[in-house]
């Protein structure tokens, strides 16, 4: 419905009563939404106005910032972390003032970064990350594991289910690093062979698992869970969709990742690539966040949506 209405429907969210709300800019669009049995809310700014602000922020590309459309407030929200300088913050404040209420600033009490340390822990010679989801091709002749793109590099390097053993390179072998997409996106593919891994399940810790039957698109207000090899099982709520994050790269290059899901969960280093899910539905894989979450309300984590990854590689959950 939102796609059909185009720029006249700048957002959608789940309200406190668990009902979907579609924001619209005119009475005709409101009537169309209501005719489908969905609640419509009139707002002032259309999708193009909000899109133009996001384009301005992308052009600025200040590291340690992230932005997204807040459908409830009909604004673009702009988060900035503790690495943003006073001069950069003044620039952001000037842009916010010029936006005449269409943009707001939010402080992040920590440093925004991709979360690699060097689901269940997986190891390369350089990193510890988390496995996202197991997938297969259409005829089930090859099997793969998905994780974060900033963990992988497509070099055919080996990944393991435990720390690598220099004396036995095949011990605890998970598979080979087949592909990576980062920055821009944040996903990677590990080829695990011609036999299935642990099917369509994610770990919940302490020997408990959750079957994953399908994948879906996240929406603001949705209750979700994530599992990471550092943090374990955490729960929270989707606060952002189609968000952009500008990570400060350790090599001095700034890494911009777009189209992310945002939540109020506090992820940690090593959680990268771990699954984000709602019930039995896969939603995404951990990308980055603010790693020093002082209070629950200060938590920021970002995720690569799973649907894009499945489409790109032509694979499916199993």
Task: Say what the pLDDT of residue 292 is.
Answer: 66
Q: Which residues are designated catalytic? A: 150, 186, 272
User: Cα separation of 1 and 30, whole Å?
Assistant: 11
* Pair 27, 76 in one domain: no
Starting at the edge strand found earlier in the chain, the sheet holding 11-14 runs 11-14, 20-24, 39-42
What is the pLDDT at residue 198? 61
CA-based nearest residue to 262, from 236, 240, 247: 240
Domain shared by 249 and 271, yes or no = yes
pLDDT of residue 49: 97
Q: Per the domain annotation, does 224 fall within a domain?
A: yes
Predicted local confidence at residue 261, as pLDDT: 98
**What is the rounded CA–CA span in Å between residue 125 and residue 138?**
31
Co-location of 265 and 171 in the same domain: yes
Q: Which residues contact 35 (CB under 8 A, 6 or more apart)?
A: none
The residues of the chain scoring below 70 in pLDDT are 115-118, 197-199, 251-252, 292-298
- In whole angstroms, how far apart are CA 144 and each of 76, 196, 199, 289, 318? 37, 8, 11, 26, 10
Specify the 3-state DSSP secondary structure of 51: helix
Contacts of 29 (CB under 8 A, 6+ apart): 5, 8, 9, 40
Cis peptide before 183 (omega within 30 of 0): yes
Neighbour-count burial for 44-63, b at 16+ CB within 10 Å, e otherwise:
ebbbebbeebbeebeeeebb
What is the distance between the alpha carbons of residues 247 and 163, in angstroms, rounded to a whole number?
A: 27
Which is nearest to 218 in space by CA: 153, 301, 293? 301
Q: What is the CATH number of the domain that holds 162?
A: 2.40.10.10
Q: How many domains does the chain have?
A: 3
Say whether both 97 and 218 belong to one domain: no
The per-residue pLDDT for 197 is 66
* pLDDT confidence of residue 294: 61
Q: What is the pTM of this model?
A: 0.89
Answer yes or no: do 264 and 294 share one domain.
Answer: yes
Query: Is 103 found in the same domain as 68?
Result: yes
Residue 47 falls inside a structural domain = no
Under 8 Å between Cβ of 299 and 292: no
CA separation for the pair 85, 29 (Å, rounded): 43
Give the structural domain span for 158.
Answer: 110-318
- Is 23 inside any structural domain? yes
- What pLDDT sits at residue 199? 67
């Amino acid at each position: 419905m939102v796609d059909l209405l185009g720029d006249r429907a700048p957002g959608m969210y789940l309200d406190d009563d668990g009902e979907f709300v579609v924001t619209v800019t005119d009475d005709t669009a409101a009537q169309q939404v209501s005719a489908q049995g969905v609640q419509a809310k009139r707002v002032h700014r259309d999708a193009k106005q909000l899109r133009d602000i996001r384009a301005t922020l992308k052009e600025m590309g200040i590291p340690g910032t992230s932005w997204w459309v807040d459908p409830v407030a009909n604004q673009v929200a702009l988060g900035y972390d503790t690495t943003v300088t006073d001069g950069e913050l003044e620039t952001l404040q000037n842009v916010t003032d010029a936006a005449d209420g269409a943009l707001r600033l939010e402080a992040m009490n920590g440093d925004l970064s991709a979360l690699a340390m060097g689901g269940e822990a997986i190891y390369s010679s350089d990193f510890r990350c988390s496995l996202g989801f197991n997938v297969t091709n259409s005829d089930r002749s090859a099997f793969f594991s998905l994780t974060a793109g900033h963990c992988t590099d497509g070099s055919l390097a080996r990944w393991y289910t435990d720390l690598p053993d220099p004396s036995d390179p095949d011990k605890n072998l998970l598979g080979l690093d087949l592909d990576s997409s980062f920055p821009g996106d944040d996903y990677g593919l590990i080829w695990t062979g011609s036999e299935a891994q642990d099917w369509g399940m994610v770990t919940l810790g302490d020997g408990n698992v959750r079957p994953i039957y399908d994948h879906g698109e996240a929406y603001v207000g949705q209750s979700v869970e994530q599992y990471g090899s550092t943090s374990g099982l955490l729960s929270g709520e989707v606060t952002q969709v189609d968000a952009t994050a500008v990570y400060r790269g350790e090599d001095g290059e700034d890494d911009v990742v777009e189209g992310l899901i945002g939540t109020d969960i506090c992820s940690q280093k090593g959680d990268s690539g771990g699954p984000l899910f709602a019930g039995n539905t896969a939603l995404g894989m951990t990308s980055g966040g603010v790693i020093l979450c002082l209070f629950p309300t200060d938590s920021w984590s970002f995720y690569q949506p799973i649907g894009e990854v499945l489409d790109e590689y032509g694979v499916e959950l199993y």
